[in-house]
Structure 1
């Protein structure tokens, strides 16, 4: 059985990616930060699909915890999957933050940098020894890093997601010696708990926002989760080093 590690899978895109990968027959080790109940729900839904899953706590903004997390992953691999390695890594965990450049504090800049760039960088580094040759990695970026989706207030967030796009390409180059493929997906606005559950709290913004999508609606988690599952699976075997916008033609 193939095994995936999916970070930030207690809700939204990460939860969908975990479920879609499980539907294709892989076991899943998923992580959560504060939403333990959401992680349990993801595990339960995978088990309802006759799949196998386990949830581990991870603070993506605290790189000092990554060696212990790697050990926890190794323990689950041995205990649950009778494996000493895994096949797919989805770096999805992260958080939002917005402020105009003139109002951005150094503390907030560092918080976002730790969670959105330093975290995925060093987590991938920590987990590399557990990844099989021929593995696949998907990093979740954002179309806010693309020229046609520049929104005031997201300079730091979008810049860090842009850094992840570049990092993904370098990972694809360096890890290719082991046959490991690396891609990134760039979602547009998607109905998740992101940005303090903004869409649930302010549903009135959705119809107007939907008009900016060529396909006439905002994204749903499964729109992104299915794309991630395809990229890590056999169907994506000849795709590497790409940043793929998955946004229904936002601002097309």
Structure 2
């Protein structure tokens, strides 16, 4: 059985990706930061449908803990799947915070950098020795970093980190290609997740304006993105690498 690691899988896009990947017969290691119950519920839902999953804690903003996380992954692989490698890594975990450039605190900037760019960079580095040749990586970027999405004031720091992740995706694809490892990014548009402290729930009045700018007249749902991630790690995407796919329902089209 193949095994995938999905970071930030306690809710939203990560949870959807984990469930969709598991539906394809792949074992899943789900990570969570503060929402342990959400990750355990997702793992239980996967197992209820006949899949195999385990939830592990990971603080993506603290790279000092990555070696210990790798050991936890290695232990899970041995005890649950009788393997010493895994096949797919989905770098999904993230945070969101907005502020105008003139108002941005350096501490907030650094926090975004640690979670959105440094975290995926060094987590992938630490996990590479455990990744099987012929595997895949999917980095979750953002349409906020693309030239076609339109610019919203306040997203400068967030978009800069996500843009860095999109560039990093291409370099990973180049450097990992001798091992047959594919690396792609997905860039979701406005999606109904828990990011920004459940911003859509707290500010429902913003939804109609966003939907009006989208070709399909609605905001995205986690499964809109999670299903694509599952496809990208699947064998049908074996000839796709170094791509950044916008998943926004035609935002600003």
> Normalised by the shorter chain, which TM-score bucket?
over 0.9
Using structure 2 for the length normalisation, give the TM-score.
0.98
In the alignment, which residue of structure 1 is the partner of 2:154?
153
Using structure 1 for the length normalisation, give the TM-score.
0.99
In the alignment, which residue of structure 1 is the partner of 2:221?
220
In the alignment, which residue of structure 1 is the partner of 2:132?
132
Q: After the TM superposition, which parts of structure 1 deviate over 2 Å for at least 4 consecutive aligned residues?
A: none
1:78 and 2:66 correspond: no
Q: Deviations over 1:139-164 (max 9, x none)?
A: 00000001233110010100000000
1:65 and 2:70 correspond: no
SS at match of 1:137: strand
SS at match of 1:25: coil
In the alignment, which residue of structure 1 is the partner of 2:237?
236
In the alignment, which residue of structure 2 is the partner of 1:56?
56
Q: How many residues align?
A: 252
Which 5+ residue runs of structure 2 have no aligned equivalent? none
Distance 1:149 1:226 in 2: 25
Please provide the CA RMSD for this pair: 0.7
Distance 1:129 1:172 in 2: 16
Which 5+ residue runs of structure 1 have no aligned equivalent? none
In the alignment, which residue of structure 1 is the partner of 2:205?
204
Distance 2:179 2:31 in 1: 25
SS at match of 2:43: helix
SS at match of 2:187: strand
1:162 and 2:177 correspond: no
Q: How does 1:24-39 map to 2 (within 5 A)?
A: 24-39=24-39
SS at match of 1:22: helix
Give 1:72 deviation, angstroms.
0.3
SS at match of 1:156: helix
